[in-house]
């Protein structure tokens, strides 16, 4: 599992925010997508493992639209903008 940099993950569906509005946020550009910043992403298992602080969240492979490992410039490549939220620790 990659843990040296934060990840920005976009999930298909607004229902993720109903499960946990603290972790999952509305995507800034598409209301039907949910997003989160997490500490790690592991794609080696049957489900995608997202590590958020002390929690491990397993989501189906088909739910993940994109997972981007962010460097220091979180706005690079246009994936994350100022309206997408803040740092990895934001709730």
* Helix (H/G/I), strand (E/B), else coil: 61: helix
- Specify the residue for token string 């994350």: 80
pLDDT in tens, 17-62: 999 999 999 998 899 999 999 999 999 999 999 998 889 999 999 9
Chain Cα centroid distance, residue 23:
9
What's this model's pTM, rounded to 2 decimal places?
0.76
Nearest to 2 by CA among 71, 64, 86, 77: 71
Average pLDDT over residues 2-26: 87
Residue bearing the bigger pLDDT, 90 or 13: 13
Instruction: Find all residues with CB under 8 Å of 43, minimum gap 6, and list them.
Output: 49, 61, 67
pLDDT at 4: 53
* 80 band by pLDDT with thresholds 50, 70 and 90: low
């Amino acid at each position: 599992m990659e843990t040296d940099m934060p990840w920005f993950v976009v999930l298909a569906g607004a229902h993720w925010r109903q499960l946990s509005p603290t972790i999952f946020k509305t995507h800034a550009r598409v209301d039907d997508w949910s997003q989160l910043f997490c500490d790690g992403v592991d794609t080696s298992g049957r489900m995608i493992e997202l590590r958020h602080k002390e929690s491990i969240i397993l989501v189906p492979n088909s739910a993940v639209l994109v997972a981007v490992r962010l460097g220091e410039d979180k706005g690079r490549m246009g994936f994350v903008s100022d309206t997408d939220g803040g740092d990895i620790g934001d709730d």
